[in-house]
């Protein structure tokens, strides 16, 4: 463009020169012609025309040069405009890119902060490995649970895999690294820095680099040791409950069978004189029935259906009496008693607590075959002293009884099973395996708790917690020693034929008029017809068609004043207690003999 501008100026200058020369030449020749007239016109005469032509050509050149300059400038301007637009677009794109990069940087910074916060605040332990299994990062929770710090483990493999878990763990790692298969909730075990073995749940996934290639693995470890302990505790409770239900059912049916035997023996003995040749044999059979009844009491005790007469009792007195009785039979055992003064009473069945004590004493004696020491302690505690147990105690006050021996002790496997019915470490014939089972059931049935602390070769301590009562201890009344007869009308209700048969005979021997019903439905029908004649109903609690509770409610609707004696192969605990609380007069436990039956009937009939 500068050359074109220079050429235009140059041509314009030439044009001016040529035009000046043309004018000058024309004027000069005009003068010359005037001086030299009549001379022919020669070449000099046309010289001014040449100069004019050259000037014209110079002007034309200037015109075309200007046109060319404008055209070139226009093109250059268009190109420049495009360059400007392109540059503006580039600058805008650059600004946008910078803003995006800044946003991405801020997002990455925020994500990094969130990521770090998640890693640090997670309740689970987190480990990031490279593909070789070396630790690149461990979270603070990992350090808290397992003991190692990041400085100790960075770039190293973590030495916490037990050998017995290696095969299953390596199979999962192989699938994870090679195939990218994640794992979720894989339960296994891992060592801590101080060699403790923890139950853990592992979830893991593989992560890739920016090119999409595998870069390492992220592993989350959750300590489930407490969860496993809770599950084991729950399974233990459920197992004991299931066995208890079975044991209770067996005891109930067995009591009904023994009711038939006991009733018939009572009838024979009632008519037999003591000089009868079979009298002593019959008395021996009755003792065997009572022994069988004691066995079912233990089963019912385990099933927590063994509370017969609940009242406030003094635990110190019960422990003292039973330990003195036991001590007279085991002279090689020294008994130490450490009783708390002014101990709270407990609401319990005295005979059942006595059974608990005797079973614990026998268990201690068996653990000390060559003699030893038995330490008995009572004290007052609250639920706060019962933390970290297999159970979750209800808030309140408790009376604690500890029975400690210095015998052979037990290992963990034995401790886990000692309360199961029929489990025993004794040789065949050495024991039924029901003693500690009944202890467990009786204590649970009384709303209490029991612990066992033992070590092989270092003795055993049983700790029994029973709810304290603010009621005062009552004096016991003397039992009936004679059979009391009557002439009232009794409605006997039971679904067991053997119980009906022997029950009718016992009642008739006692002088009563008897109506019998083999089902709840029949009992309601009979009572509706004879309610004005019936003085007392002996009502079985468990029947297939209509249970004793519903029968009781329906006959009460017919006659609210009717007197009812509840009967069951189970004990007074549970369902029987509910019926008694609704107004039922009394309860009798199967199997019963004629003397006990006569006493219970008179108690109900004489009650105003």
Residues 389 and 509 in one domain: no
Nearest CA to 396 out of 383, 381, 379 is that of 383
Compute the distance between CA of residue 353 and CA of residue 339 in angstroms, rounded to an integer.
Answer: 17
**Between these two residues, 353 and 481, which has the higher pLDDT value?**
353
Whether residue 529 sits in one domain with residue 444: no
Q: Kindly report the CATH number assigned to the domain that includes residue 132.
A: 3.30.450.20
d(CA 271, CA 268): 5
Q: Name the least confident of 100-104, 300-304, 512-516.
A: 300-304
What is the Cα–Cα distance from 274 to 600, expressed in whole angstroms? Answer: 26
Tokens encoding 130? 């490279």
Per-residue pLDDT tens for 355-393? 889 889 988 888 888 889 999 999 998 888 777 666 777
Q: What is the CATH number of the domain that holds 429?
A: 3.30.565.10
Looking at per-residue confidence, does 518 or 482 come out higher? Answer: 518
Query: Does residue 311 sit in the same domain as residue 433?
Result: yes
Q: Picking from 110-114, 426-430, 544-548, which range would have the lowest pLDDT averaged per residue?
A: 426-430
Q: Do the beta carbons of residue 523 and residue 537 sit within 8 Å?
A: yes
What pTM value is reported for the model?
0.49
Classify residue 445: in a domain, yes or no. yes
What is the model's pLDDT at position 178? 87
List, for residues 25-47, the tens digit of each pLDDT value. Answer: 544 545 544 454 444 444 455 55
Poorest-confidence range of 7-11, 307-311, 344-348, 415-419? Answer: 7-11
Out of 15-19, 314-318, 461-465, 554-558, least confident range: 15-19
Q: Are 433 and 555 part of one and the same domain?
A: no
pLDDT at 24: 52
Q: What is the signed CA dihedral for 195, 197, 198, 204, rounded to 10 degrees?
A: 80
Task: Compute the average pLDDT of residues 315-344.
Answer: 87
- Contacts of residue 112, defined as CB under 8 A and 6 or more positions apart, other chains included, come to none
Residue 246 lies in a domain: no
pLDDT, position 428: 41
Helix (H/G/I), strand (E/B), else coil: 47: helix
Average confidence (pLDDT) over 108-131: 77
- Of 141, 220, 157, the closest CA to residue 183 belongs to 220
8 Å CB contact between 318 and 338: no
The tens digit of pLDDT for each residue in 531-556 reads: 999 999 999 988 888 888 999 999 99
The pLDDT-based confidence of 418 (bands split at 50, 70, 90) is confident
Joined together, the tokens standing for residue 168 give 């299953």
Q: Which residues contact 523 (CB under 8 A, 6 or more apart)?
A: 491, 493, 517, 537, 539, 551, 555
How confident is the prediction for the chain on average, in pLDDT? 80
Residue 409 lies in a domain: yes
Whether residues 379 and 312 share a domain: the answer is: yes
Residues 354 and 380 in one domain: yes
Confidence of residue 480 (pLDDT cuts 50, 70, 90): very low
| Residue 332 CA to its chain's centroid (Å) | 47
CATH of the domain at 595: 3.40.50.2300
Q: Is 457 inside any structural domain? A: yes
- 349 with 455, same domain? yes
pLDDT of the residue at 17: 58
Residue 7: band (very low, low, confident or very high) from pLDDT cuts 50, 70, 90: low
Cβ atoms 539, 565 nearer than 8 A = yes
Is the pLDDT assigned to residue 493 strictly greater than 90?
Answer: yes
Could you tell me if 509 and 267 are in contact, meaning their C-beta atoms sit under 8 angstroms apart? yes
CA distances from 195 to 132, 142, 191, 225, 533 (A): 24, 15, 5, 15, 79
Tally of domains in the chain: 4
Asked, for residue 266, whether it belongs to a domain, the answer is: no
Out of 223, 255, 288, pick the residue that ends a domain: 223
494 and 447: one domain?
no
d(CA 242, CA 237): 9
For residues 255 and 499, the answer to whether their CB atoms sit within 8 Å is: no
Confidence class for position 524, pLDDT limits 50, 70, 90: very high
User: Do 209 and 333 reside in the same domain of the chain?
Assistant: no
3-class state of residue 128 by DSSP: strand
Give the pLDDT of residue 262: 80
Answer whether residue 198 shows pLDDT above 50: yes
> Do the Cβ atoms of 360 and 462 come closer than 8 Å?
yes
Is 80 within a domain? yes
pLDDT of the residue at 402: 93
Q: Report how far residue 450's alpha carbon sits from residue 401's, in angstroms, rounded to the nearest whole number.
A: 10
Expressed as residue numbers, the domain containing 28 is 2-115
Least confident of 245-249, 325-329, 526-530: 245-249
Query: In this structure, are 169 and 68 located in the same domain?
Result: no
C-alpha to C-alpha distance for 136 and 128, rounded to whole angstroms: 5
Q: How confident is the model at residue 13 (pLDDT cuts 50, 70, 90)?
A: low
One domain for residues 349 and 458: yes
Residue 401's CB: how many other CB atoms inside 10 A?
28
Mean pLDDT throughout 129-141?
89
Token reading at 470: 């603010």
Q: Is 395 helix (H, G, I), strand (E, B) or coil?
A: coil
Give the pLDDT score at 552: 93
Identify the domain boundary among 65, 82, 115: 115
For residue 155, is it left (φ>0), alpha (ψ between -120 and 50) or beta? left
465 has a pLDDT exceeding 60: yes
* Among 115, 142, 159, residue at a domain's last position: 115
281 within a domain of the structure (yes/no): no
Provide mean pLDDT across the span 213-226.
89
Per-residue pLDDT at 296 exceeds 80:
no
Q: Band of the pLDDT at 112, cuts 50, 70, 90? A: low
* pLDDT value for 327: 84
Q: Are residues 573 and 555 in the same domain?
A: yes
pLDDT in tens, 558-578: 999 999 999 887 766 667 888
Q: Is residue 341 pLDDT above 90, yes or no?
A: no
Domain-located, residue 271: no
Higher pLDDT, 434 or 554: 554
């Amino acid at each position: 463009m500068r050359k074109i501008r220079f050429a235009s100026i140059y041509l314009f200058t030439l044009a001016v020169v040529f035009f000046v020369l043309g004018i000058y030449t024309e004027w000069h020749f005009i003068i010359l012609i005037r001086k030299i007239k009549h001379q022919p016109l020669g070449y000099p005469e046309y010289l001014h025309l040449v100069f004019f032509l050259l000037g014209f050509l110079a002007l034309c050149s200037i015109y075309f040069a200007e046109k060319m300059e404008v055209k070139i400038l226009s093109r250059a301007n268009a190109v420049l405009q495009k360059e400007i637009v392109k540059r503006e677009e580039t600058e805008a794109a650059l600004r946008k890119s910078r803003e995006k990069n800044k946003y991405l940087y801020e997002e990455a910074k925020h994500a990094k902060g969130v990521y770090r916060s998640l890693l640090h605040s997670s309740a689970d332990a987190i480990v990031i490995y490279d593909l070789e299994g070396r630790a690149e990062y461990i979270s603070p929770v990992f350090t808290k649970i397992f003991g190692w710090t990041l400085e100790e483990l960075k770039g190293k493999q973590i030495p916490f895999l037990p050998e017995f878990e290696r095969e299953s763990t390596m199979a999962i790692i192989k699938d994870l690294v090679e195939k990218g298969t994640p794992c979720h909730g894989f339960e296994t075990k891992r060592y801590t820095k101080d060699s403790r073995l923890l139950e853990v749940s592992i979830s893991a996934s593989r992560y890739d680099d920016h090119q999409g290639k595998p870069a390492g693995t992220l592993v989350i470890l959750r300590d489930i040791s407490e969860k496993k302990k809770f599950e084991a505790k729950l399974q233990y409770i459920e197992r004991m409950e299931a066995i208890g239900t079975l044991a209770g059912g067996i005891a109930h049916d067995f009591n009904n069978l023994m009711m038939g035997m006991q009733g018939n023996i009572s009838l024979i003995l009632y008519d037999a004189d003591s000089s009868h040749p079979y009298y002593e044999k019959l008395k021996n059979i009755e003792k065997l029935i009572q022994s069988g009844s004691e066995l079912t009491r233990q089963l019912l005790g385990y099933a927590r259906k063994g509370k017969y007469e609940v009242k406030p009792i003094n635990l110190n007195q019960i422990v003292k009496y039973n330990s003195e009785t036991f001590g007279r039979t085991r002279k090689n055992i020294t008994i130490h008693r450490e009783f708390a003064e002014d101990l709270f009473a407990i609401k319990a069945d005295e005979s059942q607590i006595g059974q608990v004590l005797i079973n614990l004493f026998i268990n201690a004696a068996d653990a000390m075959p060559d003699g030893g020491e038995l330490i008995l302690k009572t004290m007052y505690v609250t639920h706060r002293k019962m933390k970290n147990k297999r159970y979750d105690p209800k808030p309140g006050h408790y009376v604690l009884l500890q029975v400690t021996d210095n015998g052979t002790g037990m290992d963990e496997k034995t401790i886990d099973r000692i309360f199961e019915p029929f489990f025993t470490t004794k040789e065949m014939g050495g024991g039924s395996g029901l003693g500690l089972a009944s202890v467990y059931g009786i204590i649970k049935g009384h709303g209490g708790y029991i612990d066992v602390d033992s070590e092989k070769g270092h003795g055993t301590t049983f700790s029994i917690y029973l709810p304290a009562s603010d009621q005062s201890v009552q004096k016991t009344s003397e039992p009936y020693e004679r059979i009391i007869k009557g002439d009232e009308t009794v409605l006997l209700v039971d679904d067991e034929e053997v119980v009906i048969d022997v029950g009718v005979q016992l009642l008739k021997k006692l002088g009563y008029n008897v109506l019998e019903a083999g089902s709840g439905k029949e009992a309601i029908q009979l009572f509706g017809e004879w309610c004005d004649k019936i003085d007392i109903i002996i009502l079985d609690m468990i029947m297939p068609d209509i249970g004793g509770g519903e029968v009781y409610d329906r006959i009460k609707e017919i006659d609210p004043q009717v007197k009812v004696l509840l009967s069951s192969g189970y004990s007074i605990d549970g369902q029987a207690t509910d019926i008694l609380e609704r107004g039922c007069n009394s309860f009798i436990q199967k199997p019963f003999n004629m003397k006990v039956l006569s006493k219970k009937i008179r108690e109900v009939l004489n009650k105003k």
